[in-house]
Chains A and B, each alone.
Chain A
Amino acid sequence: MGNSSGSISSLLRNFRLRSSDPSIFIALLFAISLALSSFWIDPYLAYVGTSWIIFGLLGLSLDLVWGRGGLLSLGQTSFYGIGGYVGSIAAINFAPLTGNSLIWALPFGAISGAILATLVGWFIFYGRMGSLQSTILTYTFTLIVWTITLSFTTEIGEAVVGGDNGMSNIPGFVLGFDQNASSLSPNMMFLTVIVISAIIYLIVAFIVRSPFGMVIDSIRLDAVKAELLGLDIRLFQTLMFMLAGAIAGIAGGLFGAWANYLNPSIFSVQEALLVPIYVLVGGLGTLIGPFVGALTVGGLSFWLGGGVIGGQTTLVMGACLIVLVIFLRKGIVGGIQTVFARIFDGSEVRDQRSQQTSQVRVNLDLLEKLQASAKIQRDATLKTVDTSKRFGGVLAVDSVSQVFEPGKVRCIIGPNGAGKSSYLKTCTGAYAPDSGMVLYSGQDITKINPFERVKLGLGIKMQTAQVFDELSVKQNLWIAGYGNGLNKERADQVSDEMLDVLNMREISTRLASTLSHGEQQWLDIGMVLCLAPSVILLDEPAAGMSKEEKRQLSELVRLMAKTATVVVVDHDMDFVRTLDAEVTVLHQGAVFAQAEIDELRKDERILDIYLGRRESVTNF
């Protein structure tokens, strides 16, 4: 039995990884059956149910930001509320002219929600704020918008915004385009909202699978690595936030049309609290989850309690949220997916971190060919001038001046704690040096962001293998190819070639988290090569590799050095010896010696540093 069920499960697994799951179909089935139900359900239920779908749409905007983008935003209701107000004001003024109300309410809602979200997002992401700070900021933003609207009164055309009294006379759902067109029946309204939500869901699902979505995923999984692939993560995150703001704004516009009346309670904490509940009940990051969650919560309070706005809803919801975060981690949709995965995949998949040490065999000839045709700046140099970095009382880098040029591998060695990694991090932009300069081909890059350095031509591999755990091997390489230039065709081509270079075609669909340490190291190196960098910085690339792998790596590094500037930081003397490199020895943050490796090997002092022999070290 093992054979056939094994092949079926691997088939299903590949399907899941490639088209990223059948959940779109399930979601559509779900939408269609809901849509069909609109023809027979009780009008009152349809009326109430419409609001649940709208809440689901609001939940979708949070799921995008939180489940995909990784930022818990407590501000989605402010975009929702503003979208509702602005959309409704537009509808009040213009709908009488056209009949159809939604063509006013929805675009105006979307645009106002998007603008507001972009403003907030710009502050958060371009300010590089911490995640907790960002969340608190969105929360206080919600509170402030709420307090403002409580007392804010104005008249815009026919629309009267009455502070606490709210705004009434908002046109309902009118689809017909003549001035006498009437509002839809509750059942048709239900259907309309389902169709609109399904369209938005599809658009989001499409975006999530597009290059943009891949980038957003990679930023959530490892923002530092994403930036080292040349991606301006601030821009992508702000765009993602803008999109979510637009969705919330549309939901607000729909809500205004549904309720025919808006007041500041739409901005209230009680309202805001519901949004993460929908997402958590349904399943974080699933996109369809928020709808499932909103329908579940709405349905439960409808059939068990006294409707959505029942007296004690706040109390129950507050308690629900506490219970949810403690006990229910994956939500309904996530739970179903886990069950399915267990049935089809077999539970061993994730534990499969290959115990067998599958040897990586690199295709250097192919790499050389690719390298020859790659657009690389052949004479790029990296230079540091008196670079220093201090941590508290420790001078980690002590005015190091170096010039790195192509042609020959350059190594930086030194015992643990000598400041090698810290020095490298001032070159990559992870640390801002306290004094001194970093120059790329003569251009001062001391103060620019890491991704801008990568765009100039820097390729950086950090000490630990940095791969995107939840993406496949191929997707990892693809993101790396995409980061440099945002060109989809190039990414397709480069990642495909790199699969051959790394000989990873057979495991291209495996999740990076299931690879062995050595394989992850190679994948990371492959990602750096995908950037076609002119200056390559490698921090302990040989760590955790077998003898044979080290030999191949050494060949690869020497090959790269023919066309690019390559700097290797390591303390594995065996490995360094094979690189035929010019070696700089760091000791206590400063340059201790610099020479060919063979010369250095004769130098007793170097051995002393490594072995900690006393005489010459103290004399230094």
Chain B
Amino acid sequence: MLQISNANGGYKRVTIIRDCSLRVSKGEIVALLGRNGAGKSTLMKYTMGLVDTFGGSVSIDGNTLPQSTSKRVKMGLGYVPQGRYVFPRLSVPENIAVAALACGHNRHESIDDAFEDFPILAEKKEALAGTLSGGQQQILSIARALATKPQVLLLDEPTEGVQPSIIEEIGEKLKRLNEERGLSILIAEQNLDFCLSIAKRAYILNNGSISHETTRDELIENKTILHELLGV
């Protein structure tokens, strides 16, 4: 499904990620772990074509993706950026409509779908996105990414600054999307338990390179290594 090969990327002349390769199979949930500054966000942005590419490629089902971010989205990559960048002066349904329209889907159907998936958004349908709480913005950001009807969903730190009850809700929702619709998911996270609760496989990023590939069971058994790796 999603394949990142030998990714080298960063900003201007500064290389931040080096030779990162990873794979997400159809219907799989994969976690990308690592401490702050390890390059998780950069690798996610690299995948979306949002940072400078110095080498490597990203492909879906064997088709190499073009550099343009918007084209990548249309070819099946959904993206939930770190820091829940909703469009603050767009209403909740408009946020979803933007994504649907850009990818050529019917906006009213998409909004209805999103409200069905996330009832909490339906309660807020008159509100401007900027006035939502952190957790609500995160949910909106996920709903918006889903409105592009992705094959692979990339989530960058979806639990950051989000209250625990909503973290749980997000986890459940992602699991259900995965099971019911076969959505493949790649999550960059620091929140270990959240990852362990939904992902079966994980990559560990250290200093811009992938240092380990591991499974959930291994992680649960061997927490000391993990603490060392994540620096907690």
Contact = CB atoms under 8 A, between A and B. Distances in A.
Interface of A: 351, 353, 392-394, 415-419, 517, 543-544, 571-574, 588, 607, 610-614, 617-618
A392 B86 CA distance: 12
A517 B132 CA distance: 36
Interface stretch (B50-58, B94-102, B186-194): B186-194
B179 to A, nearest CB: 21
Nearest to A619: B164
Contacts of A353: 13-14
A418 B161 contact: yes
B193 A393 contact: no
Contacts of A574: 231
B163 A588 contact: yes
Given A392-B130, A393-B136, A416 B160 contact: yes
Contact of A393 (B14, B132, B157): B132
Nearest to A394: B134
A543 B191 CA distance: 20
Given A353-B14, A394-B137, A613 B193 contact: yes
A28 B150 CA distance: 65
Contacts of B165: 618
Q: Chain B's interface: helix, strand, loop or mixed, by majority?
A: loop
Contacts of A613: 192-193
A540 to B, nearest CB: 9
A607 B134 CA distance: 22
Contacts of B13: 351, 353
Contact of B190 (A392, A415, A618): A415
- Give the 9 A-B CB pairs with smallest separation, nearest first: A417-B161, A612-B191, A392-B130, A417-B160, A393-B132, A393-B131, A618-B164, A611-B192, A393-B133
Given A416-B190, A612-B159, A393 B164 contact: no
Contacts of B14: 353, 517
Given A353-B13, A517-B14, A617-B164, A612 B133 contact: no
Q: Chain A's interface: helix, strand, loop or mixed, by majority?
A: loop
B116 interface: no
Contacts of B190: 415-416, 610, 612
A613 B162 CA distance: 13
Contact of B160 (A415, A517, A607): A415
B130 A612 contact: no
A611 B190 CA distance: 7
Nearest to B35: A572
Interface string B106-146: 00000000000000000000000011111011000000000
B211 interface: no
Nearest to A612: B191
A385 to B, nearest CB: 24
Pick the most buried of A419, A573, A610, A611: most chain B CB atoms within 10 A of its CB.
A611
Contacts of A517: 14
A607 B227 CA distance: 11
Contacts of B232: 573, 607, 610-611
Contact of B36 (A394, A418, A572): A572
A392 B88 contact: yes
B66 interface: no
Nearest to B36: A571
Contacts of A544: 37
B231 A572 contact: yes
B167 interface: yes
Interface in B39-84: 83
B218 interface: no
Contacts of B35: 572
Contacts of B169: none
Contact of A543 (B37, B83, B134, B192): B37
Contact of B193 (A571, A573, A588, A611): A611
A393 B161 contact: no
Contacts of A543: 36-37
Nearest to A589: B161
Given A573-B231, A612-B192, A614-B193, 8 more contacts: A416-B36, A416-B190, A417-B162, A419-B161, A572-B36, A611-B192, A612-B167, A614-B164
B168 interface: yes
A557 B176 CA distance: 48
Contacts of B161: 394, 416-419, 588
Contacts of A417: 83, 134, 160-162
Contact of B134 (A393, A611, A612): A393
A144 to B, nearest CB: 32
Interface in B188-232: 190-194, 231-232
A573 B36 CA distance: 11
A517 B10 CA distance: 13
A543 B39 CA distance: 12
B130 A393 contact: yes
Nearest to A391: B130
24 contacts: A353-B13, A392-B88, A392-B130, A392-B131, A393-B130, A393-B133, A393-B134, A394-B137, A415-B160, A417-B134, A417-B162, A517-B14, A543-B36, A571-B36, A572-B231, A573-B231, A588-B161, A588-B163, A607-B232, A610-B190, A611-B191, A611-B232, A613-B192, A614-B168
Contacts of A416: 36, 157, 160-161, 190
Contacts of A351: 13
B16 to A, nearest CB: 10
Nearest to A607: B232
Contacts of B88: 392
Nearest to B189: A612
Contacts of B162: 417
Interface string B150-189: 0000000101111111011000000000000000000000
A131 B231 CA distance: 43
Nearest to B128: A392
Pick the most buried of B88, B130, B164: most chain A CB atoms within 10 A of its CB.
B164
A178 to B, nearest CB: 65
